[in-house]
């Protein structure tokens, strides 16, 4: 292969969306997640963060979408990655992994108007790590995606 061909190949690979990436560690996934431009997400995806979410979490978002009237907000009517609807995460700090059986848990802290701590659960899927659940255990209204989806049918 000639040098210009290699340069073109690497440029093409760099342009691939996050969906094509396999994350070897949960920390690598989180770094990519918090740098991710949601405008890159397929408009038909069940979530803005579908490339990072497990099959099960994407299935839950899709089922919620399928059961939501057009124009209405679904069960998750906020951005779970920033724990709100406004602004963005700054000063992101990814904590240490805790391995529990076949899952990994870790905390992410950042600022979004005020300090936020989110608890992520990851599963190994398709040769890499994917987000299985996100939880915010602070404040007046603690939540987790799984608990919100579980309560959606009530």
Both structure tokens of 91 = 């000063």
- Please give the residue that has the higher pLDDT: either 13 or 52: 52
Residue 2 has pLDDT above 50, yes or no: no
Q: Is the pLDDT of residue 68 over 50?
A: yes
Domain assignment present for residue 15? The answer is: no
Residue 50 inside a domain? The answer is yes
pTM of the predicted protein model:
0.82
Residue recorded with tokens 């038909």: 44
- What sign results for the dihedral spanned by CA atoms 118, 49, 34, 132? positive
Q: With bands split at pLDDT 50, 70 and 90, how would you rate the model's confidence at 21?
A: confident
Asked, for residue 94, whether it belongs to a domain, the answer is yes
pLDDT band at 8 (very low <50, low <70, confident <90, very high): very low
Task: Look at residue 32 and tell me if it is in a domain.
Answer: yes
- Confidence (pLDDT) at 85: 86
CA distance to 22, 47, 85, 140, per residue, from 41 (Å): 16, 8, 18, 31
The structure tokens listed for 114 are 């005020």
The answer to whether 108 and 115 are in contact (CB under 8 A) is no
Tokens of 25: 């560690």
Residue 56 lies in a domain: yes
| CATH code, domain with 85 | 3.10.450.50
Which pLDDT band holds residue 63 (cuts at 50, 70, 90)? very high
Tell me the residue range of the domain where 122 lies: 22-151
The domain total for the chain is: 1
Task: Tell me, yes or no, whether 57 lies in a domain.
Answer: yes
**43: its two tokens:** 């408009």
13 pLDDT more than 50: no
Question: 12 in a domain, yes or no?
Answer: no
In DSSP terms, 104 is beta-bridged to: 99, 122
Is residue 9 a part of any domain in this protein?
A: no
Interval 82-140: pLDDT, tens: 998 877 898 999 999 999 888 999 999 999 989 999 999 999 999 999 999 999 998 88
Q: Residue-wise over 8-42: b if at least 16 C-beta within 10 A, else e? A: eeeeeeeeeebeeeebeebbebbeebbebeeeebe
- State residue 127's pLDDT score: 92
Read off the pLDDT of each residue in 12-25 and give the average, rounded to a whole number: 58
Percentage of residues of the chain with pLDDT beyond 70: 85
Other C-beta atoms closer than 10 Å to the C-beta of 122 total 26
């Amino acid at each position: 292969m000639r040098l210009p061909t290699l340069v073109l190949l690497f440029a093409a690979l760099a342009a691939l969306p996050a969906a094509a990436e396999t994350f070897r560690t949960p920390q690598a996934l989180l770094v990519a997640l918090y740098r991710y431009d949601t405008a890159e997400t397929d408009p038909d995806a069940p979530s803005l963060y579908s490339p990072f979410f497990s099959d099960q979490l994407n299935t839950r978002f899709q089922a919620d979408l399928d059961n939501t009237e057009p124009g209405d907000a679904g069960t998750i009517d906020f951005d779970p990655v920033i724990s709100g609807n406004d602004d963005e995460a700054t000063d992101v700090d990814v904590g240490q992994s805790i391995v529990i059986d076949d899952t990994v848990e870790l905390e992410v802290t950042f600022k979004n108007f005020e300090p936020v701590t989110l608890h992520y659960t990851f599963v190994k899927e398709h040769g890499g790590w994917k987000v299985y659940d996100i939880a915010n255990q602070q404040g007046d209204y603690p939540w987790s995606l799984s608990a919100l989806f579980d309560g959606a049918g009530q």
